[in-house]
Amino acid sequence: MNILIVRVSSLGDVVHNMPMVADIRRHYPDANIDWVVEEGYTSLVRLNPYVRHIIPIALRRWRKSLGKAATRAEIAGFHRQLRHEAYDIVFDTQGLLKTSIVMRLARLAPGGKRVGLANATEGSGYEPISRIFHTQSVKVGLHTHAVMRARAVAAGALGYQPDSTADFALEAPVLKTAPAWMPTQPYAVFFHGTARAAKQWPVENWVAVSRELQLPVLLPWGSAREKLAAEALARQMSQATVLPALSLMEAVTLVQHAALVVGLDTGLTHIAAAYCRPTVELYCDSPRWKTEGNWSPRIVNLGDTGAPPDVAQVVQAIHQVLSAAEAARSGGDAQNNEA
């Protein structure tokens, strides 16, 4: 069976789509699974060994230069790649008109079907018009977690129940050389930056938390504004380092090796949770139920829309996730000794 997933963005949503892939392969071990994703996220999807082919799309870039011949040639090449394989099922788990059009452009095998969401979840960007291209629309609950939403769509189409903890199946990135900024000792990462001001956590809180740690703190950033904020934070912390600009795979390596991640509701924080690193997720102005990491005791989620956590809660959560990580290591060491 050939399956195509259309989930083009954003970073956190692409991460939360990963367990759907593991579910399909668990129930249909011989399935070939391809994925259409924004070009900037192809390296992330490539870390999932269950994905056969990745078809990059560049909607964000193309819309700025549709009149150029080079752009039209790229779009034609994408269309050829999309039509190269005949698919038994094409999934659109994003539920937008643009993604449903991509789903419609894919070539179906005889008897194949196009499957998507029948309805929105609370606060989602779902567009009901996307259903016009569906062969089958799967209804989900109003308060369905982002991970379970994608898993439910696949389960509804393929006739099984999501029956285990979410499996992101992400392998570790392989970089050609170790980054010069990577510490040799354990470290913490603070994902302090976010595009929306209401989702930010006060500077004084980050500083207070850093004073409770026995770990050096690394401060990544994703824009000029976030870099300035990171530099301001570092000036008030005793052992903090502002990182250089990172590629996506360098950022994934950063979280995959971190002893602790404290971060806002952003894609990179969700990647840390997907790897089950000791992670404290901070929700200041977004609903926690939609994306909270609920698949590991090494993840604690704090705050909610309009109710950011305080410093004491975050410090307590840090102790909790580090203790859970230590218990997991001790359990693994005991099993190795018995073996």
Per cent of the chain over pLDDT 70 is 98
End-to-end, the C-alpha distance of the chain in Å comes to: 40
Task: Report how far Cα 49 is from the mean position of its chain's Cα atoms.
Answer: 16
Confidence of residue 332 (pLDDT cuts 50, 70, 90): low
Instruction: Answer yes or no: is 297 within a domain.
Output: yes
> Looking at residue 339, what is its pLDDT?
40
- Whether 336 shows a pLDDT value over 60: the answer reads no
Domain match, 195 and 106 both? no
The mean pLDDT value for 105-112 works out to 98
The mean pLDDT value for 293-321 works out to 97
- Whether 142 shows a pLDDT value over 60: the answer reads yes
Domain match, 136 and 212 both? no
How does DSSP assign 203-239, residue by residue? Answer: HHHHHHHHHT-SS-EEE--SSHHHHHHHHHHHTTSTT
Total domains, the chain: 2
What is the tally of helices (H) and strands (E) in the chain?
12, 12
> Looking at residue 335, what is its pLDDT?
47
Confidence of residue 337 (pLDDT cuts 50, 70, 90): very low
| CA–CA dist 235, 238 (Å, integer) | 8
- Whether 334 shows a pLDDT value over 60: the answer reads no
> Looking at residue 330, what is its pLDDT?
85
Instruction: Answer yes or no: is 45 within a domain.
Output: yes
> Looking at residue 195, what is its pLDDT?
82
Per cent of the chain over pLDDT 90 is 94
Instruction: Answer yes or no: is 167 within a domain.
Output: no
| CA–CA dist 30, 39 (Å, integer) | 27
Q: What is the pLDDT of residues 179-228, one digit of tens each?
A: 999 999 999 999 999 888 899 999 999 999 999 999 999 999 999 999 99
Average pLDDT, the chain: 95
Domain match, 143 and 198 both? no
Task: Report how far Cα 75 is from the mean position of its chain's Cα atoms.
Answer: 26
Q: Please check whether residue 60 is in contact with residue 77, taking contact to mean a CB–CB distance below 8 angstroms.
A: no
Instruction: Answer yes or no: is 51 within a domain.
Output: yes
The mean pLDDT value for 332-339 works out to 47
The mean pLDDT value for 8-28 works out to 97
Domain match, 300 and 236 both? yes
The mean pLDDT value for 96-102 works out to 97
Residue from 19, 29, 44 nearest 148 by CA: 19
- Whether 333 shows a pLDDT value over 70: the answer reads no
Q: What is the pLDDT of residues 233-288, one digit of tens each?
A: 999 999 999 999 999 999 999 999 999 999 999 999 999 999 999 999 999 999 99
SS3 188: strand
For the CA atoms of the chain, what is the radius of gyration? 21
Domain match, 142 and 228 both? no
> Looking at residue 331, what is its pLDDT?
78
Domain match, 147 and 220 both? no
Domain match, 13 and 133 both? yes
Instruction: Answer yes or no: is 308 within a domain.
Output: yes
Instruction: Answer yes or no: is 172 within a domain.
Output: no
The token pair that represents 225 in the structure block: 């504004």
| CA–CA dist 320, 176 (Å, integer) | 35
Confidence of residue 311 (pLDDT cuts 50, 70, 90): very high
Instruction: Answer yes or no: is 324 within a domain.
Output: yes
The mean pLDDT value for 44-69 works out to 96
Three-class secondary structure assignment of 289-327: HHHCCCCCCCEEEEEECCECCCHHHHHHHHHHHHHHHHH
Domain match, 49 and 195 both? no
Q: What is the pLDDT of residues 226-245, one digit of tens each?
A: 999 999 999 999 999 999 99
The parent domain of residue 103 ranges over: 2-158
Pairing outcome for strands 107-117 and 136-138: parallel
> Looking at residue 164, what is its pLDDT?
86
Interhelix angle 146-158/11-27, nearest 10 degrees: 30
- Whether 81 shows a pLDDT value over 90: the answer reads yes
> Looking at residue 294, what is its pLDDT?
96
> Looking at residue 118, what is its pLDDT?
98
Edge-to-edge strands, sheet with 136-138: 51-57, 32-38, 2-6, 86-92, 107-117, 136-138
SS3 26: helix
We report the CATH number of the domain holding residue 140 as 3.40.50.2000
Residue carrying the six token digits 């129940």: 161
Q: Which stretch of DSSP H or E encloses residue 85?
A: none
The token pair that represents 207 in the structure block: 């500083």
